[in-house]
Structure 1
């Protein structure tokens, strides 16, 4: 798969809901690829799918990420 081409074909911005779904699918994908997935990731997926506080936690996390863009580098 050509990841540069994949990245070029993605929109420059996504909604909060789209980003949340992407995070959910990323965790779900990782769990499905692992023969013995980490219990913490399984619990995270369950939390993302079922806990009523998840949306408020997500919004706080997005706000934090916007305030401090240097903390986590996705290309590292």
Structure 2
């Protein structure tokens, strides 16, 4: 998919996981001194055997109507 192309409204579990990985990969690469926690999270996404089950649990929580805090709402409140 080229830059600027329309993005899909939904992603598969695999695609969303890859997006989360690439987002952390981007930030770790951009920052001159990335936060240690972010670096550890990036390493976790690459190598921890539990990552897929943890990812599915996080997706279940995100899909829950009562998920709190909602990071999208939190970000809107800061703008």
**TM-score band, normalised by shorter chain:** 0.7 to 0.9
Q: Distance in 1 between matches of 2:37 and 2:60?
A: 24
Structure 1 gaps, min length 5: 1-5
Structure 2 gaps, min length 5: none
C-alpha displacement of 1:25? 0.3
- The residue number in structure 2 matching 1:38 is 35
C-alpha displacement of 1:69? 7.5
Q: Which runs of 4+ in 1 moved over 6 A?
A: none
- The residue number in structure 1 matching 2:11 is 14
Secondary structure at the aligned position of 1:13 is classed as coil
C-alpha displacement of 1:61? 0.2
Q: Distance in 1 between matches of 2:27 and 2:33?
A: 11
- The residue number in structure 2 matching 1:3 is none
2:72 aligned with 1:51? no
How large is the RMSD of aligned CA atoms in angstroms? 1.9
